[in-house]
Structure 1
Amino acid sequence: MGEVRVRLDLSYDGRDFSGWAKQRERRTVQGELESAIRTVLRLPEPVELTVAGRTDAGVHARGQVAHVDLDERVWQEHGGKLLRRLAGRLPHDVRVWRVTRAPEGFDARFSAIWRRYAYRVGDHPGGVDPLLRGFVLWHDRPLDVDLMNEAAAKLLGEHDFAAYCKKREGATTIRTLQRLEWERAPEGLAVATVRADAFCHNMVRALVGSMLLVGDGHRPVDFPAEVLAGRVRHSAVNVVRPHGLTLEEVGYPADELLAARNLEARSKRSLPVVGGC
Structure 2
Amino acid sequence: MVSQTFEAAAPEAAVVVSRVAACIEYRGTAYRGWQRQQSGVRSVQEAVEKALSRVANHPVSTVCAGRTDAGVHASSQIIHFDSDARRSMANWFHGANANLPADISLAWAQPVEQDFHARFSAKARRYRYVIYNDPVRPAHLAHEVTWNYRTLDIERMQQAGALLVGEHDFSAYRAVACQAKSPVKTIHHLRLVRFGQFIVLDVRANAFLHHMVRNIAGVLMEIGCGERPVEWAAEVLKSRDRREGGLTAPPFGLYLVDVTYPERFQLPHRYMGPHFLSALNSLDD
- The answer to whether the superposition gives a TM-score over 0.5 is yes
CA deviation vs aligned residue, 1:166-196 (integer Å, no higher than 9, x gap): 24346221111111111101x3211100111
The code of the aligned residue for 1:62 comes to S
Alignment of 1:81-230 (within 5 A): 81-103=91-113, 105-128=115-138, 130-166=139-175, 167-169=177-179, 171-185=181-195, 187-230=196-239
Change (3 A) 1:212 1:36: same
- 1:49 is the counterpart of 2:62: yes
CA deviation vs aligned residue, 1:51-81 (integer Å, no higher than 9, x gap): 011000000000111000112xx1x345441
The code of the aligned residue for 1:52 comes to A
Instruction: Give the structure-2-normalised TM-score.
Output: 0.84
Change (3 A) 1:144 1:255: same
Shift, 1:206, TM fit: 0.3
The answer for the alignment partner of 2:8 in structure 1 is none
The structure where helix makes up a greater share of residues is 1
Whether the aligned pair in 2 keeps the contact of 1:41 and 1:78 (CA below 8 Å) is no
Range 151-160 or range 132-141, more displaced: 132-141
Whether the aligned pair in 1 keeps the contact of 2:236 and 2:244 (CA below 8 Å) is no
Which residues of structure 1 form unaligned runs of 5+? 259-277
Change (3 A) 1:176 1:236: closer
Change (3 A) 1:112 1:242: same
- 1:31 is the counterpart of 2:33: no
SS of 2:242's equivalent in the other structure is: coil
SS of 1:23's equivalent in the other structure is: coil
SS of 1:193's equivalent in the other structure is: strand
CA deviation vs aligned residue, 1:123-144 (integer Å, no higher than 9, x gap): 211232x222221111121001
The answer for the alignment partner of 1:261 in structure 2 is none
Change (3 A) 1:244 1:256: closer
Change (3 A) 1:212 1:172: same
Whether the aligned pair in 2 keeps the contact of 1:103 and 1:255 (CA below 8 Å) is no
What root-mean-square deviation, in Å, do the aligned CA atoms of Structure 1 and Structure 2 show? 1.8
Change (3 A) 1:150 1:175: same
The answer for the alignment partner of 1:272 in structure 2 is none
Instruction: Give the structure-1-normalised TM-score.
Output: 0.86
Whether the aligned pair in 2 keeps the contact of 1:104 and 1:255 (CA below 8 Å) is no
The answer for the alignment partner of 2:16 in structure 1 is 2
**Matched length:** 251
